[in-house]
């Protein structure tokens, strides 16, 4: 396993109004200083999209490009052709720098964002059968494109505020898609946020895990935020995601399951957070890296 991080741990997010966005040079410098081996792209256009320029930036810091997250809307008929160019642009850049995975997430909408984390409500406000079928077939088509043209494996990323959020939705999508085409980006924090048990889901779906986002989350704090009517963005801004080892995810058990299943891909540490003016941006990623060294041995 190789350990990387992502710009979100430095408060860099594609969601409008999330918070201040640090310069990418500082983020990459601190990522390397904290001992990580690779990064993801973050929002499209945050890091340079010219392959030569990006390769130079990463190589000078000893970082590899691990993958990239691409939010799409594939719930409605006709949207595949609209989304395909966006996916292909990211796939082309990833392939040019030697990455092996592309991460596709549902982009959600205001309704799902407003009820994120509330399992009873997300179960009641989900996709229709027709939408599920179109989503599954569209993902398979994109997966074939990414495999055949770019040598990339497509992994579906469940995400708070999206239509692939709760454990029922994650399992249903995997049941509806070909395992040779579609894998799972297993995000421990978003699984917990969506009402799932990361350990239970890892045990059930170990054979489909193609990429890992490792997050920790304080569930009591999350429940308090949800009880106040906070959405995903407000909860994240309120500090529910924390450095590894400071929350409620059973990280040693997750690694036990991954190792037993033979997983040998990237472990991308993430902490969905907002940085305040003058806040220390390096200490939290360093804490998470040290936790993995001392508790997990990687």
DSSP string, 96-154: HTT--EEEEEE---HHHHHHTT-HHHHHHS---HHHHHHHHHHHHHHHHHHHHHH--EE
Cβ–Cβ < 8 Å for 72, 87: yes
* Integer Cα distance of 272 and 187 in angstroms: 12
Would you say 134 and 77 are in contact if contact means Cβ atoms under 8 Å apart? Answer: yes
Q: Is 270 helix (H, G, I), strand (E, B) or coil?
A: coil
Q: Any residues with CB less than 8 A from the CB of 20 and at least 6 apart, and which?
A: 11, 274, 275, 276, 277
Distance of alpha carbon 278 from alpha carbon 49, whole angstroms: 28
pTM of the prediction? 0.96
Q: Which CATH architecture has domain 2-296?
A: Alpha-Beta Barrel (3.20)
Beta bridge mates, 267: 3, 212
3 state SS of 102: strand
Task: Provide the 10 A C-beta neighbour count for residue 172.
Answer: 16
* Angle in degrees, 0-180, between the axes of helices 51-59 and 79-96, rounded to the nearest 10: 50
Q: How many helices (H) and strands (E) does the chain have?
A: 13, 11
**Of residues 33, 36, 10, the one with CA closest to residue 23:** 10
CA angle 128, 125, 69 (to 5 degrees): 80
- φ and ψ of 13, to 5 deg: -140, 150
| Interatomic CA distance for residues 19 and 12, integer angstroms | 8
- Do the beta carbons of residue 214 and residue 268 sit within 8 Å? yes
C-alpha gyration radius of the chain: 18
Comparing CA positions, the residue from 224, 211, 284, 248 lying closest to residue 11 is: 284
pLDDT tens-digit series, residues 31-87: 999 999 999 999 999 999 999 999 999 999 999 999 999 999 999 999 999 999 999
The answer to whether 170 and 184 have CB atoms below 8 angstroms apart is: yes
Tens-level pLDDT at each residue, the chain (298 residues): 999 999 999 999 988 888 889 999 999 999 999 999 999 999 999 999 999 999 999 999 999 999 999 999 999 999 999 999 999 999 999 999 999 999 999 999 999 999 999 999 999 999 999 999 999 999 999 999 999 999 999 999 999 999 999 999 999 999 999 999 999 999 999 999 999 999 999 999 999 999 999 999 999 999 999 999 998 889 999 999 999 999 999 999 999 999 999 999 999 999 999 998 788 999 999 999 999 999 999 9
């Amino acid at each position: 396993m190789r350990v990387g991080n992502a710009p979100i741990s430095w408060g860099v997010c594609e969601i409008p109004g999330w918070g201040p966005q640090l310069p990418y040079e500082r983020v990459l410098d601190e990522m390397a200083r904290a001992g990580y081996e690779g990064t993801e792209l973050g929002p499209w256009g945050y890091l340079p999209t010219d392959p030569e320029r990006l390769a130079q930036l990463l190589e000078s810091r000893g970082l590899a490009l691990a993958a990239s997250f691409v939010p799409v809307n594939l719930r409605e008929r006709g949207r595949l052709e609209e989304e395909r160019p966006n996916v292909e642009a990211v796939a082309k850049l990833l392939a040019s720098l030697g990455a092996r995975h592309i991460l596709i997430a549902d982009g959600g909408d205001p309704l799902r964002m407003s009820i994120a984390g509330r399992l009873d409500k997300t179960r009641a406000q989900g996709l229709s059968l027709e939408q599920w079928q179109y989503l599954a077939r569209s993902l398979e088509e994109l997966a074939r494109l990414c495999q055949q043209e770019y040598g990339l494996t497509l992994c579906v990323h469940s995400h708070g505020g999206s239509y692939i959020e709760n454990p029922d939705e994650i399992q249903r999508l995997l049941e509806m898609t070909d395992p040779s085409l579609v894998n799972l980006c297993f995000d421990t924090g978003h699984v917990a946020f969506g009402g799932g048990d990361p350990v239970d889901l890892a045990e059930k779906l170990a054979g489909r895990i193609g990429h890992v986002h490792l997050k920790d989350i304080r569930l009591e704090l999350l429940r308090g935020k949800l009880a106040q009517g906070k959405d995903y963005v407000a909860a994240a801004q309120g500090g529910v995601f924390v450095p590894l080892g400071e929350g409620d995810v059973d990280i040693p058990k997750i690694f036990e399951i991954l190792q037993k299943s033979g997983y040998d891909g990237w472990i991308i540490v993430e902490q969905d957070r907002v940085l305040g003016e003058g806040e220390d941006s390096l200490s939290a990623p360093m804490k998470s890296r040290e936790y993995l060294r001392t508790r997990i041995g990687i």
